[in-house]
Amino acid sequence: MILGQSIVDIFKGSFIMVLLLVASIVVVALVVERFLYFARNGFDARRLYGRFRQVLRNRGPRETMQFIRRVKNPVGGLLQVALENNHLPPDELGEILYSFILEEKVKFDRYLGGLGTMANAATLLGLLGTVIGLIRAFHNIAMTGSGGPAVVSAGIAEALLTTAFGLFIGIPALFFYNYFTKKSNDLATQMESTLDKVVVLIQQEKKKAKENPREPEPMPEPEPLPKREYRPRTDETYADEGGWKF
């Protein structure tokens, strides 16, 4: 019970409260979706780059590609794109990697605009509901001609309920919007830092490989084919092996 009314009666009597209820459901859905996304795609760029550099220097690009394909996060994708385009000049390689980061940034920011809109809209809807409630309360007082302090206070309290509900939705939504926005910016910054380091690393390794080319391993001699003894086959033999029978 709130202000002497059940929750069902409150929502039945106010269209604004119904809109706020829908907004609260949308906010919860967006927050849960973003939490799950960042939990699946989180990464430690510095640690992953250190492992990538170690494998590349010790085992070469082929085994490094096999290693990095097993990494299922945005930085792993960035390093894979870098290896696939290692033949390009540094400037072109950097542009391709930066384009990849921009694509990932769009995924980081997905639904954040909606979350921020809900934070503002819920608060404004609450204020709108309060204004409408006050207008209705004073109109009823004017129509009935009875409006002591108790009646006026009850009407104002009921009108302010929508503001309270709007703030109850808007404040957490604004908090999560700022939290996810900062997380998105931090992840994008880590990827940009990794971009600069991986471009320099690839150029260094290409230079080393050019100055100290590895000698190709000798090809093993092919083994002679075993000699097969010719044996004429009978019609029964061809029939057993599924061949033609003449």
Neighbours of 40 (CB within 10 A): 9
> Is position 235 within any domain?
no
pLDDT number for residue 238? 39
Are 147 and 89 in contact, with CB atoms under 8 Å apart? no
Determine how many CB atoms are found less than 10 A away from the CB of residue 111. Answer: 15
Residue 42 lies in a domain: yes
pLDDT at 237: 44
Q: Is residue 223 part of a domain?
A: no
pLDDT of res. 169: 94
Domain-located, residue 222: no
Q: Is residue 234 part of a domain?
A: no
Q: What is the pTM of this model?
A: 0.75
In a domain, 232, yes or no: no
Does residue 236 sit within a domain?
no
What's the confidence (pLDDT) of residue 244?
Answer: 22
Would you say residue 227 lies in a domain?
no
Range of the domain at 53: 7-211
Domain count, the chain: 1
Regions of the chain where pLDDT drops below 70: 1-13, 144-155, 213-246
146: left (phi over 0), alpha (psi -120 to 50) or beta: beta
DSSP lists the bridge partners of residue 2 as: 5
Q: What pLDDT was estimated at residue 210?
A: 80
